[in-house]
Amino acid sequence: MKMYSEFTDSELVILLKNKDHAAFSEIYNRYAMLIFYKINQMIRDEEASKDLVQDLFVGFWDKPELIQENNNLSGYLYIAGRNRVLKFIQRNKLKNDHVTSLAKYASDVSLETMQDIDERELKIIVQREIDNLPAKMKVIFELSRKDNLSHAEIAKKLGLSDQTVKKQINNALKVLRAKLSIYAPLGLIILELSKRD
């Protein structure tokens, strides 16, 4: 007999629907840390992120019928995590800029749309759109996202004013949101993940 680690996601979901604890544990082991990382990147609160992940997986155990065997399990869990983040934001009235932005621009997308989008492919699409930004805007945007520099650090590095840096990043976000809107909310989440406070 195969080890649970050798089962596909679809096989694990079938077993989970029969209340197989080992199948649930395998799904949890595969995805809990990834979902925690993504949620924590959005709300920057480890304890709240742990609670949201726990809530997500408790709900998954209680209602496994909500996902079909042939659906993209990681996509389903990602959307479930995103939905809990948005509810958390609304409930706690968080003012963090990137979280507020995420809540504002994230729109509902069907699971059928999501299951066709591989996250790795989407990251390539996001990078392609970043590469298409005007040169100065791209440099500033990537220093913010990839190098995790603050507006002040970027301004100092490039000899610009803080206001110019902020305006360039905001303009880049507007362009990218427009280009990535067909992939929302996942494209927007990926875009926002590495934003520095």
DSSP state letter for 148: -
What does the alpha-carbon distance between residue 172 and residue 141 come to, in Å, rounded to a whole number?
A: 7
Look up the pTM and report it. 0.49
Output phi, psi for 108, to 5 deg: -70, 135
Least confident of 43-47, 51-55, 59-63: 43-47
Kindly report the number of other CB atoms within 10 A of residue 48's CB atom: 16
In this predicted structure, what is the pLDDT of residue 113? 46
Residue identified by tokens 């993209």 is: 72
Predicted confidence at residue 149, as pLDDT, reads: 85
> 110 falls in which pLDDT band (50, 70, 90)?
very low
What's the CA gap between 49 and 85, in Å, rounded? 9
CA distance 53 to 48: 9
| H or E element that contains 66 | none
Per-residue pLDDT at 114 exceeds 90: no
Measured between alpha carbons, how far is 141 from 148 in angstroms, rounded to an integer? 10
Q: Quote the pLDDT of residue 137.
A: 93
CA 84 to chain centre: 12
pLDDT of residue 102: 55
CA distance 51 to 185: 22
